[in-house]
């Protein structure tokens, strides 16, 4: 059966079995929306196990001591933490609340790392009190931390965030250069009490080659730290491990070719002929590469097997020789297949010039990352009772914020059998970033609820309740 909804240039989502099962039960979807409101974020974390397994298998094949820390910022549910912990993974946290919630949830200190870009003294104190490793970003932060540690008389364990000086790596606001860290450690007598237990970095983009280069650079810094009497144990290469939302490579390349071929102002593929940052027929760098071939295990293999320094030694060998554990902090790729967002159709109408619009009970921050658009086709469930006969329609999805540019997605969609108020639109694979990273409740609209599949039922995640309690506190 042809889909009830697809992009005018289709980008067909890869679905998990749990998503397919749920979508064959429109009655249940409707009940969930009636009970919890629209939009609604649904999570089933069973796929996380597979995603973790793919990474671990590659590490094992290369004899690499390996540990995974879920990047919490990619999804705020407590369910995600529970699943990561149950899989033997740690969690990478980026704020006081994220750390506090993990500690209260029973994640052990050695399974946590604080990588917040800016750290409040409350966050520093909470980490020190609980013996959680902090990724140090700069000298001011290091000195604040030492003050806090001096007051409590506790040791502080840190990873140094390394800003690479390799000319192949783009300049970064995060961390300091190796020589800056070494200067700091050598010059200050105040650094006693600071245990440097690892090196941390996180790169923009998804290049395996770049990570191999910075891993080698990190290991050189580790050698220098050992000479200074420190005993670092790990290199944490951050996140950015690729995933793929689309199976069909031809759809992905075809979309960009079709978009490039459109004359200016032609809205047959995107709103106001939006090129989504593309300049020509290549995929735009302003969106996530929604189709990728090299993901997770295969991608990690490229890093571990690489001889990035040309010294006849692979990254895996360099790690092993030094007895260094490789850590990573994947967010998106661990959550691949773990989330789906449902929203109810509020109305069908036309723009003043006749262009068809489908309005959703949802705003555009509720299925959006920092990418220019989410380039994955939603699915339609015909749960509505149309007030007139359903007829084929080609339309844009608009949302609840009172802004002309309030598009849920920037692409145009076909509804071969029509669409009506009361229908449901399902956005697949939204668990990593799409639900939470920039969600807002402007106009005093409530944030979407989060449900997790738990012991055979859809249960509300406790993060929703905790957020309300903390607002009131």
Ligand X SMILES: *Cc1c(COP(=O)(O)O)cnc(C)c1O
Question: Between the CA of residue 464 and those of 250, 339, 379, what are the distances in Å?
Answer: 40, 16, 26
Q: How many residues does the chain have?
A: 473
CB of 338 to ligand X, least distance (A): 13
CB of 87 to ligand X, least distance (A): 16
CB of 297 to ligand X, least distance (A): 15
Q: Which is nearer to ligand X, 162 or 424 (by Cβ)? A: 162
CB of 202 to ligand X, least distance (A): 4
CB of 1 to ligand X, least distance (A): 35
CB of 94 to ligand X, least distance (A): 7
- How many angstroms separate the CA atoms of 130 and 157, rounded? 11
Strands 393-398 and 356-360: parallel
Element (H, E) at 303: helix 296-305
Q: CB of 364 within 8 A of CB of 406?
A: yes
CB of 329 to ligand X, least distance (A): 4
Q: Which is nearer to ligand X, 202 or 211 (by Cβ)? A: 202
Q: CB of 351 within 8 A of CB of 358?
A: no
Ramachandran sector of residue 178 (left: φ over 0; alpha: ψ -120 to 50; beta: rest): alpha
380 φ, ψ to 5°? -105, 135
Q: Which is nearer to ligand X, 92 or 377 (by Cβ)? A: 92
CB of 307 to ligand X, least distance (A): 25
Q: Which is nearer to ligand X, 202 or 368 (by Cβ)? A: 202
Q: Which is nearer to ligand X, 238 or 339 (by Cβ)? A: 238
CB of 200 to ligand X, least distance (A): 7
Q: CB of 336 within 8 A of CB of 432?
A: yes
| Bond before 27 cis per omega within 30 degrees | no
Q: Which is nearer to ligand X, 74 or 112 (by Cβ)? A: 74
Q: CB of 467 within 8 A of CB of 77?
A: no
Q: CB of 175 within 8 A of CB of 214?
A: no
Q: Which is nearer to ligand X, 115 or 365 (by Cβ)? A: 115
Chain position whose Cβ is nearest to ligand X: 239
Residues lying near ligand X in the complex (CB under 6 A): 71, 73-74, 92, 115, 202, 238-241, 329-333
Q: Which is nearer to ligand X, 331 or 418 (by Cβ)? A: 331
Both tokens assigned to 224: 């220098």
The dihedral through the CA atoms of 110, 115, 116, 118 has a sign that is: positive
DSSP 175: S
- How many angstroms separate the CA atoms of 268 and 275, rounded? 12
Q: CB of 441 within 8 A of CB of 447?
A: yes
Q: Which is nearer to ligand X, 202 or 412 (by Cβ)? A: 202
């Amino acid at each position: 059966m042809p889909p009830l909804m697809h992009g005018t240039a289709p980008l067909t989502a890869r679905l998990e079995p749990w998503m397919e099962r749920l979508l064959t039960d429109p009655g249940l979807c409707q009940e969930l929306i009636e009970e919890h409101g629209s939009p609604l974020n649904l999570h089933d974390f069973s796929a996380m196990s597979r995603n973790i397994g793919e990474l671990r298998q590659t590490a094992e094949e290369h004899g690499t001591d390996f540990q995974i820390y879920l990047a919490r910022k990619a999804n705020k549910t407590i369910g995600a933490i529970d699943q990561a912990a149950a899989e033997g993974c740690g969690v990478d946290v980026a704020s006081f609340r994220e750390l506090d919630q993990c500690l209260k949830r029973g994640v052990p200190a050695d399974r946590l790392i604080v990588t917040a870009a800016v750290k409040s003294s409350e966050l520093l104190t909470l980490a020190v009190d609980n013996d959680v490793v902090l990724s140090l970003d700069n000298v001011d932060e290091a000195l604040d931390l030492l003050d806090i540690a001096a007051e409590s008389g506790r040791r502080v364990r840190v990873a140094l965030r390394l800003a690479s000086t390799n000319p192949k790596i783009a300049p970064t606001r995060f961390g300091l250069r190796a020589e800056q860290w070494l200067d700091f450690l050598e010059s200050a007598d105040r650094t006693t009490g600071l245990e440097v237990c690892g090196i941390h970095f996180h790169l923009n983009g998804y290049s395996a080659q770049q990570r191999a280069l910075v891993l080698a650079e990190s290991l050189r810094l580790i050698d220098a730290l050992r000479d200074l009497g420190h005993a670092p144990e790990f290199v944490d290469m951050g996140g950015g491990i690729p995933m793929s939302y689309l199976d069909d490579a031809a759809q992905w390349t075809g979309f960009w070719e079709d978009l490039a071929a459109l004359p200016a102002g032609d809205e047959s593929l995107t709103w106001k002929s939006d090129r989504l940052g593309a300049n020509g027929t290549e995929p735009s760098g302003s969106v996530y590469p929604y189709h990728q071939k090299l993901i997770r295990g295969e991608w990690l293999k490229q890093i571990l097997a690489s001889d990035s320094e040309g010294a006849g030694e692979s990254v895996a060998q360099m790690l092993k020789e030094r007895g260094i554990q490789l850590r990573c902090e994947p967010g998106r790729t661990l959550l691949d297949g773990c989330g789906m967002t449902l929203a109810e159709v509020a109305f069908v109408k036309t723009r003043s010039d006749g262009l068809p619009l489908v309005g959703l009970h949802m705003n555009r921050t509720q299925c959006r990352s920092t990418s220019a658009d989410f380039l994955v086709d939603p699915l339609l469930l015909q749960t509505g009772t149309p007030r007139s006969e359903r007829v084929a329609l080609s339309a844009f999805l608009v949302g609840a914020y009172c802004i002309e540019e309030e598009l849920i997605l920037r692409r145009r969609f076909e509804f071969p059998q029509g669409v009506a108020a009361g229908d449901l639109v399902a956005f697949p694979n939204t668990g990593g970033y799409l639900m939470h990273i920039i969600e807002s409740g402007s106009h005093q609209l409530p944030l979407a609820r989060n449900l997790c599949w738990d012991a055979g039922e859809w249960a509300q995640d406790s993060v929703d309740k905790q957020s309300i309690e903390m607002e009131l506190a």
